[in-house]
Amino acid sequence: MGERSSTGWLDRLLGRRAEPTLGDARLDVAFSDIETNLIHGGDSNQRIGRAVVSPIFQTANYLVGGEGAYEDVRYIRLNNSPNHELLHRRLALIEDAEDALVAASGMAAITSVLFAFLGHGDHLLAHRSLYGGTQTFLDQDAPGLGIEYTGINMADPDGWKAALRPRTRLIYVEGVSNPLMEVGDLEAVIAFAREHGLVSVIDNTFLTPVNFRPLSVGFDLVVHSATKYLNGHSDIVAGAVAGSSACVLDVRRRLNHLGGSLDPHACFLLERGLKTLALRVERQNGSALQLAEFLHEHPRVLRVNYPGLPSDPGHERAAKLFSGFGGMLSFDVQSGEEADAFLRNVRIPLHAVSLGSAESLVVQPSRSSHLGVPVAERERLGITDALIRVSVGIESIDELIADFDRALSAA
């Protein structure tokens, strides 16, 4: 267990002593368990006006303090207000990272990571089915910037070597993929990246560090849409990156120029949301498993994608690495019309995009997150209009299951 420091960022802001670095022991309030770190980790123990909760530093700029590097100049776009820095320390602790960074959105975090390690002429390997925004960025934006990618099946290492090119620099995977809930051979991804000198990046949005800490098994960088579980209340858009100090510094420099900084008020909300992350995720793990088991037996349901089900192709890999299977699942009904009827009939979950919040959400990925992916490609992957994705919230699971049963039967 770490010790609370008696001096910290307030002193630094007030210029009462030399600016410490991020690794300064006086800022390292660190505990062993994620539940404690989510609430106290990285705290500087400074209480302005004796406030228990961090004040919001709603100031764009700060007095000059003799900074030696550009990223230390205090300015909101450089993501370095006291609100940002507390989050950086806390996120690093919960992801077992040396350093972390918040960003204006999950996509700002992802694109900054890609731009930090890939330039014109470079190539990356990525899972064949990813969150729609990431996938359309790779399909539509990256080629114009001279960056090419090859989609591979992360569950099957056999074809990976053949996809390598002389300028392959990075391998990108989602811990549980959106929206098909596939779990790749993550240990093989790490070994492959090491063997071929690739930067390994994982989007850990669906699992959260409560269920899986990818850096502890060897990934180089973790990215999050903090909009989802980390915040957990559907009221901000935010992103996060965690990894070694050197990797995070590369990303920070890129993000500083791309300008994807998080607003201090959003930092405040993210800090608040993080406090209940473990509670929410543990409950969502349990509820999602119960709902998946119910749907698995339901006569109107053709297929359920959830790594917690023993019948799921990713179950063994997930059971080996994850401490929980997450709150996300997807399932197929007979047709797009049946999916439409289900979405009209269901009463508790909201028919809305995004995920990871207190309220359950249902959506057809083909008509939302994956609208940008060409129809033929979607169909090939199995992302049809009959596929419904569920983000399980924290409502009563008995009422939720009864609601799904009623809506499916009426569909």
Q: How far is the CB of 225 from ligand PLP (least distance, A)?
A: 3
**Residue 161 annotated among the catalytic residues of the structure:** no
Q: How far is the CB of 227 from ligand PLP (least distance, A)?
A: 4
Which is catalytic among the residues 11, 99, 203, 332? 203
- In angstroms, rounded to a whole number, what is the distance separating the alpha carbons of residues 162 and 268? 46
**Residue 149 annotated among the catalytic residues of the structure:** no
- In angstroms, rounded to a whole number, what is the distance separating the alpha carbons of residues 313 and 145? 36
Q: How far is the CB of 64 from ligand PLP (least distance, A)?
A: 33
**Residue 70 annotated among the catalytic residues of the structure:** no
- My answer on whether omega of the bond before 307 falls inside 30° of 0, hence cis, is no
Q: How far is the CB of 239 from ligand PLP (least distance, A)?
A: 6
**Closer by beta carbon to ligand PLP, 227 or else 364:** 227
**Residue 320 annotated among the catalytic residues of the structure:** no
Residues that bind ligand PLP (CB under 6 A): 105-107, 131, 133, 174, 178, 203, 205-206, 225, 227, 237, 239, 354, 369
**Number of CB atoms found within 10 A of residue 115's CB:** 18
Which is catalytic among the residues 26, 77, 253, 272? 77
Q: How far is the CB of 139 from ligand PLP (least distance, A)?
A: 15
**Closer by beta carbon to ligand PLP, 2 or else 232:** 232
Residues ≥6 apart with Cβ < 8 Å to 51? none
Which is catalytic among the residues 131, 149, 172, 229? 131
Query: Nearest to residue 371, comparing CAs of 39, 136, 206?
Result: 136
**Number of CB atoms found within 10 A of residue 130's CB:** 24
Which is catalytic among the residues 12, 89, 213, 228? 228
The count of C-alpha atoms lying within 13 angstroms of the C-alpha of 275, restricted to the half-sphere facing its C-beta, is 11
Q: Are 241 and 251 in contact (CB under 8 A)?
A: yes
**Closer by beta carbon to ligand PLP, 74 or else 370:** 370
Q: What are phi and psi of 218, to 5 degrees?
A: 125, 0
Q: Is 19 exposed, middle or buried (0-12, 13-18, 19+ CB in 10 A)?
A: middle
Q: Are 275 and 38 in contact (CB under 8 A)?
A: yes
Give the single-character DSSP code of 138.
I
- In angstroms, rounded to a whole number, what is the distance separating the alpha carbons of residues 70 and 20? 16
**Closer by beta carbon to ligand PLP, 42 or else 179:** 179
Q: How far is the CB of 287 from ligand PLP (least distance, A)?
A: 19
Q: How far is the CB of 175 from ligand PLP (least distance, A)?
A: 9
**Closer by beta carbon to ligand PLP, 201 or else 386:** 201
- Indicate the SS3 state at residue 389: strand
Q: How far is the CB of 48 from ligand PLP (least distance, A)?
A: 30
- In angstroms, rounded to a whole number, what is the distance separating the alpha carbons of residues 288 and 117? 36
**Closer by beta carbon to ligand PLP, 43 or else 271:** 271
State whether the Cα torsion 372-378-381-386 is positive or negative.
positive
**Closer by beta carbon to ligand PLP, 285 or else 369:** 369
Helix (H) or strand (E) holding 199: strand 199-203
CB nearest ligand PLP: which residue? 106
**Closer by beta carbon to ligand PLP, 168 or else 227:** 227
SS3 percent helix, strand, coil of the chain, rounded to 5, is: 45, 15, 45
Q: Is 376 exposed, middle or buried (0-12, 13-18, 19+ CB in 10 A)?
A: exposed
Query: Would you name the residues annotated as active-site residues?
Result: 77, 131, 203, 228
